[in-house]
Structure 1
Amino acid sequence: MKLREVIGILDAEILSCEENLDIDIKSACGSDLMSDVMAYVKDSVLLLTGLVNPQVIRTAEMMDIKVVVFVRGKNPGENIIDLAKEKGISVLTTKLPMFIACGKLYSAGLTGRGAWD
């Protein structure tokens, strides 16, 4: 699935790295605990989170996550957006709660591949 499709499915707004609209997204992970993301994410994924701080972008960078989606209408500050731009990470925001956003992506064909696979 392309990032542009994710934006449509989640009715999301892209806040950084619009040039990444054609990257392939193969799986997704929803978590507010960055320690869980680091422990369980195996491959490059799209990360959905309600945690709004620079640590999210730092974790995404470490785990080779190219897209971060802030759920529940959360809007990251300019410091987070600037850091994401610097790291080449696309940042989206959606008004959907995490459960609904994850469900919509799963229904559209994204899986949750992780360390348990």
Structure 2
Amino acid sequence: MSGCRPVRRGEVTFVLSVALVSAVACGPGAAEPDAVVTVGHLAFGPSEVTIPTGGSVRWEFEDGGLLHQVGAPGEFDSGVTGAGSFTHTFERPGVYEYTCSVHRYMVGAVTVTDD
């Protein structure tokens, strides 16, 4: 058993959390989002998207395990994560500016139209 080591509680929690988020976001019957934003290379790509009212955006965390958080105060919060994805549905028209709380220079916006 060379190379084996005890698993710490935080590691198990992280793995189970990522598995649960992946199962919920990508499970059977999961609707495709209206826009997908990649969180990678310390940026949001694309940084601005436009969707209809009732539409959703999925942020995919693909930055090699680097921790990020996508959020707009009072609107949505992905929590801090380094893997998986986060989806939010926008029920009201408007412009929603968001940031990464870990890297404040990472900014983006979702424009929700009244279509």
**Shared fold by TM > 0.5?**
no
- How high is the TM-score relative to the length of structure 1? 0.28
Q: Judging by fraction of residues, say which structure has more helix.
A: 1
Bigger share in strand: 2
**Of the two, which has the highest radius of gyration?**
2
With a CA cutoff of 8 Å and minimum separation of 6, indicate the structure with the bigger relative contact order: 1
